[in-house]
């Protein structure tokens, strides 16, 4: 039998990362029969094309999952985060998504997401230490 060992690799090469991610993805497709996966990203750009923020997400299993939403401090407070979320929601609705999920921390944007119609559906106290992690969802009717 081949010897197998776990090896710490903080900066894993892209090919290894993709192999592992694909392994999870292929398992998920086999278990659910749901193979349609779409990246859904919106970039906030300034007049010169510079990146000032954006929303990164993907659509799978009839749900949009937002992984990152960020707006540069230079343009924060002008409604850009709300606009990015509305664009993503419109995209999800147009493709018949059942809802949207995301995570946020107690020091981030829970009230912002609640104003957009999201509700907390999971909580991890003490992650990170001294804070709370919230899993949020918005059902699209």
CATH of the domain at 76: 3.40.630.30
**Average pLDDT of the chain to the nearest whole number:** 97
Is residue 14 a part of any domain in this protein?
A: no
* pTM for this predicted structure: 0.90
Q: What is the band of 125 on the pLDDT scale with cuts at 50, 70, 90?
A: very high
Is residue 97 a part of any domain in this protein?
A: yes
Is residue 24 a part of any domain in this protein?
A: no
According to the model, what pLDDT value does residue 118 have?
98
Q: CA-CA distance, 107 to 73, in Å (whole number)?
A: 16
Is the pLDDT assigned to residue 141 strictly greater than 90?
no
Q: What is the band of 52 on the pLDDT scale with cuts at 50, 70, 90?
A: very high
Q: What is the band of 94 on the pLDDT scale with cuts at 50, 70, 90?
A: very high
Q: Scanning the structure block, which residue is given the tokens 């699209």?
A: 140
According to the model, what pLDDT value does residue 78 have?
97
According to the model, what pLDDT value does residue 41 have?
98
Q: CA-CA distance, 129 to 133, in Å (whole number)?
A: 10
Is residue 15 a part of any domain in this protein?
A: no
Q: What is the band of 30 on the pLDDT scale with cuts at 50, 70, 90?
A: very high
Is residue 17 a part of any domain in this protein?
A: no
How many domains does the chain divide into?
A: 1
Angle at 70 between CA 20 and CA 126, to 5 degrees: 70
């Amino acid at each position: 039998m081949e010897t197998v060992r776990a090896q710490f690799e903080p900066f894993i090469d892209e090919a290894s990362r993709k192999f592992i991610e694909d392994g999870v993805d292929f398992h998920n497709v086999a278990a659910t029969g749901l193979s349609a996966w779409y990246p859904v990203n919106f970039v906030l750009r300034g007049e010169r094309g510079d990146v000032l923020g954006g929303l990164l997400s993907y659509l799978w299993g009839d749900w949009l999952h937002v992984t990152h939403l960020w707006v540069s401090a230079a343009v924060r407070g002008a409604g850009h985060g709300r606009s990015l979320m509305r664009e993503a929601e419109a995209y999800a609705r147009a493709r018949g998504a059942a809802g949207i999920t995301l995570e946020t921390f107690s020091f981030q944007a829970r009230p912002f997401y609640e104003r957009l119609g999201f509700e907390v559906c999971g909580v991890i106290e003490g992650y990170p230490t001294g804070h709370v992690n919230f899993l949020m969802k918005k059902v699209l009717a």
